[in-house]
Amino acid sequence: MSLNSLSAFRDRDRAEKLIRRIKNRLTRSWMIMEMCGGQTHALLQSGIDQLLSPEITFIHGPGCPVCVTPQSTIDKAIRLANHQDVILTTYGDMLRVPGTDISLATARAAGADVRVVYAALDALTIARETPNKQVVFLGIGFETTAPANGISVIQSARLGITNYSMLSYQVRVPSALKMILDAEDNRVQAFLAAGHVCAVMGTAEYLPISQQYQVPISVTGFEPVDLLAGIDQVVSDLESGQWQVQNAYSRSVSASGNPAALAIIDEVFEPCAREWRGIGQIPDSGWKIKDQFSAFDAEKKFDLAVESEVFDSVCIAGQILLGQKLPLDCPAFARNCSPEHPLGAAMVSSEGTCAAYYRYRREYA
C-alpha cells in the first residue's frame, strides 16, 4: 500500500470523529490490552493513549518477539557464533539483546562472525555462497515471521543445501492471551489483536477465546484511524455487555488468513511449549521444527543443551510484558537503562514497550 493510500488512515478529521464517538459511548472506565509492540508505539506516538485517558487505560502486552526471546536462546546463538566454522545470521534488533553474560554484538566485537540479514532467505544465500561454513539463522518471531522462516527450511531441503540450519524461536499469540486471562490478577477487559499476525493466521482462532473468557477482541492495523476503529469496536461491546471478534483491518485481514502461508507453517512446524523471557514457560505457545527437517534444526544439529533463565534483579521487563507495570515504574528506566545501554530486551527492540516510553514518554520518568 502506497503512502498516499495510507494517508486516509492518518487523517486528523477521521481520527477526531472516532475519538468523539468513543468518548460518547463511555459510561465507565475500561482496561484494554494491545498485544503488539507495533501497536504500543503507534498509540504512544499518536497520543491516542493520552487523548482517551483517563476513561481508557491501555495495558501493553507481550507482543514484541525480540522482547520475549529468552536469554537461553541468545546464549545458544552466542555459543554457535563462537564456533570457528559457523556464520551466525539474524535480524538487527537481536544483536544487542542481553544474554546471560553478553550479547551477540559483544560476541561479534570479540571476533565472532555475526551478520545482520533482513530475512531467512538472505541467510540461505550466504550458505550457498559460503559452502565451507555452517550458516545458522537465528529465526525468531510471532506467526508473522513463521512462513518466511519456514520457506528457508523447505528451500534448503529441496536444493540440498546441507550447511544451512535455523535456531528457531517461533511463538504464538493465542496461548499468551489465555495465560493473561487465566491470571488471578488479570485486569484486561478487551484486546486489540495484531493485524500482521492475523493477516497470516486469520481471526478464527480468537473466537473460542472470546467466547470462553467473554472478552471482546478487535483486529487492528497500526495507523491512528485503524487503532481508533478497533478501540471503538471493543468499547461498543464492553458498554453493551457483549463479546465478539471483530475486524477493523479488513483491507489486510480475512477470517481464514493466508492459505499459502498456513501451508508452509503446517509443513515445517509443530506446536510446542515455549519459554518466554521474564514470564516463564507457556504451554502450546510456540512452534518447533518438525523431525523430518531435523537436519536444518540448529538445536539438533549442534546438540544445544537447554539452559535455565537467569534474570536481572533490577530489570522488571517481565512484569512490563505482562502489563502488570509500566516502564515508568522501573527504577532503572532512563537512568541506568537506555537504548544505548539496555538492561533488558524491551529497551532494545524497536517494538519494545520500554523503548516506546523512552522515545515518547521519557519526560514523565
DSSP 92-127: GGGTT---SS--HHHHHHTT--EEE-SSHHHHHHHH
Cell 519494545, residue located: 352
Say what the pLDDT of residue 350 is.
87
Residues 225, 220: Cα–Cα separation, whole Å: 9
pLDDT of residue 84: 92
pLDDT range class, residue 311, cuts 50, 70, 90? low
Confidence of residue 308 (pLDDT cuts 50, 70, 90): low
Residue pair 90/138 in contact (Cβ under 8 Å)? The answer is yes
Least confident of 45-54, 81-90, 304-313, 336-345: 304-313
Residue 245 has pLDDT above 90, yes or no: yes
Read off the pLDDT band of 239 (50, 70, 90): very high
Provide φ and ψ at 192, rounded to 5°. Answer: -105, 110
pLDDT above 50: residue 3: no
Average pLDDT of the chain to the nearest whole number: 93
pLDDT band at 8 (very low <50, low <70, confident <90, very high): confident
Confidence of residue 264 (pLDDT cuts 50, 70, 90): very high
Distance CA 153, CA 305 (A): 22
Strands 30-36 and 245-247: unpaired
Per-residue pLDDT tens for 59-74?
999 999 999 999 999 9
- Domains, the chain, in order of start with CATH, read 3-63+180-247 (3.40.50.11750), 67-172+257-301 (3.40.50.11740), 317-364 (no CATH)
Instruction: Quote the pTM value.
Output: 0.92
